[in-house]
Copies of this chain bind each other. A is one copy, B any other.
Amino acid sequence: MTKKTNTRTKILDVAENAVLEKGFEATSIDEIVAGAQISRSGFFYHFKDKNELARAMLERYIDAENTLYDELFSRAAELNDDPLHSMLIGLKMLAEMLADMPDGHPGCVIAATAYQDRLFDKGVQDLNREAILGWRKRFRSMFEKIADVYEPRDDVNLDALGDMVSSVVEGGLVLQRALRENNAASEQIMLLRSYLKLLFSPKS
């Protein structure tokens, strides 16, 4: 890793923490450069303005989340061949991961950005949208494989069901933040798991 990517990463780390704590607008460049131990102009060497920082943060977050889902559900698929059971294992692992974070998951950059989107240019907003559409597609295709084996016990829109994973994660993290209860998000994911278990359980 070059020196360049080192400093850049440090800026992004510091900025992400600050933005999750108090929002993008309320996070000053002064504060970021203090945390990253560079000068104000050092920041502008790496990012041409604050909007470009937002885009970079969001891109990095989305990549990390995608990598996490890839690893988690391919690991789950190794543990069980059945599409339903490997999905349930994956969600359990996701819930445990969230619960294991001592001070709770830092929260989701998506939600923080969504509620301040007018501050950003269209590129940042589209990034956000494309990420969620990507997760819809990912989970929808998993649910289709499950539905091929287990006929759903209720008539559901598979796109909406794909979105439900993102929705439950986002909603759970908002709750966790507002309640200051570190297991809120993890419990909501376990309820989503319970729903899928019932929805795809074989008819008796």
A residues adjacent to B (C-beta < 8 A): 20-26, 107, 110-119, 125, 128-129, 132-133, 153-154, 156-157, 160-161, 163-164, 166-172, 174-175, 177-180, 184, 187-188, 190-191, 194-195, 197-199, 204
Chain B residues, Cβ within 8 Å of A191: 156, 160-161, 164, 195
B114 touches A178 (CB 8 A): yes
Chain B residues, Cβ within 8 Å of A116: 22-23, 26
Quick one: which of A114, A174, A191 has the most chain B CB within 10 A?
Answer: A174
Closest chain B residue to A186 by CB distance? Answer: B160
Cα distance A43–B118 in the bound complex, in angstroms:
24
Contact flag A160-B187 (CB < 8 Å), given A23-B115, A25-B26, A153-B198? yes
B172 touches A167 (CB 8 A): yes
9 contacts between A and B (CB under 8 A): A22-B116, A23-B119, A26-B116, A110-B178, A117-B177, A117-B178, A132-B175, A168-B168, A198-B198
A157 touches B187 (CB 8 A): yes
Contact flag A174-B118 (CB < 8 Å), given A25-B23, A129-B180? no
A199 touches B194 (CB 8 A): yes
Cα distance A117–B26 in the bound complex, in angstroms:
11
Cα distance A118–B115 in the bound complex, in angstroms:
16
